[in-house]
């Protein structure tokens, strides 16, 4: 699975002009299931994200995790993280999981994050969404379970 994490002071997602997810301090997690991913990948990624020390402590160092700060996660599906731009100028997305499998893994991932004690809000899988955020730092980190 691939994820793009953005440390935020606030973030929200709208569908058809209605806010369906909103958080204050925490992480906006853009997530993409790849064709070879399984629930094991989702569990691994959820665990890593929950423990990643990217929030500042009292000394101003990135030394606290999402769990440590009691932050929330806004999880938004983003199949374009699977973009292959190696040929031509139009990205290909054939390495992304199928829509059926992608939805299952997206929902599983959101549940796995919530099971770790993190408040989770979500977007709507497959919808045209408008995502707003105030990037804190800015801090933006890419993770890929296959790159480890």
Domain boundaries in the chain?
2-144
* Annotation says 56 is catalytic: no
One of 6, 55, 78, 145 is an active-site residue; which one? 78
Q: Which of 80, 76, 69, 141 is nearest to 110 (CA)?
A: 76
pTM of the model: 0.95
**CATH number at 2-144:** 3.50.80.10
**Interior angle at CA 52, CA 47 and CA 54, nearest 5:** 155
> How much is the average pLDDT of 136-141?
96
**Cis ω for the linkage preceding 138 (within 30 of 0):** yes
**% residues pLDDT > 90 (the chain):** 97
CB-CB contact of 29 with 75 (8 Å): yes
Tokens (6 digits) for 50 = 């929950």
* Annotation says 79 is catalytic: yes
Q: Band of the pLDDT at 106, cuts 50, 70, 90?
A: very high
Q: Band of the pLDDT at 148, cuts 50, 70, 90?
A: low
Q: Is 86's pLDDT higher than 70?
A: yes
One of 19, 80, 130, 140 is an active-site residue; which one? 80
* CA pair distance 54, 62, nearest whole angstrom: 5
One of 55, 79, 122, 145 is an active-site residue; which one? 79
The string of pLDDT tens digits covering residues 5-64 is 999 999 999 999 999 999 999 999 999 999 999 999 999 999 999 999 999 999 999 999
pLDDT at residue 147 in the model: 82
Positive or negative: CA dihedral 101, 26, 12, 20: positive
**% residues pLDDT > 70 (the chain):** 99
């Amino acid at each position: 699975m691939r994820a793009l994490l953005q440390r935020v002071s606030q973030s929200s997602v709208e569908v058809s002009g209605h806010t369906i997810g909103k958080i204050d301090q925490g992480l906006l997690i853009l997530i993409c299931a790849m064709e070879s991913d399984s629930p094991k990948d989702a569990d691994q990624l959820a665990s890593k994200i929950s423990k990643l020390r990217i929030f500042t402590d009292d000394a101003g160092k990135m030394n606290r995790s999402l769990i440590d700060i009691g932050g929330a996660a806004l999880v938004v599906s983003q199949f374009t993280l699977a973009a292959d731009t190696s040929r031509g100028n139009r990205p290909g997305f054939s390495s992304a999981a199928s829509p059926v499998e992608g939805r299952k893994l997206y929902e599983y991932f959101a549940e796995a994050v919530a099971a770790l004690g993190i408040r989770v809000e979500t977007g709507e899988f497959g919808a045209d969404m408008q995502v707003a955020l105030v990037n804190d730092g800015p801090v933006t980190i890419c993770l890929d379970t296959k790159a480890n």
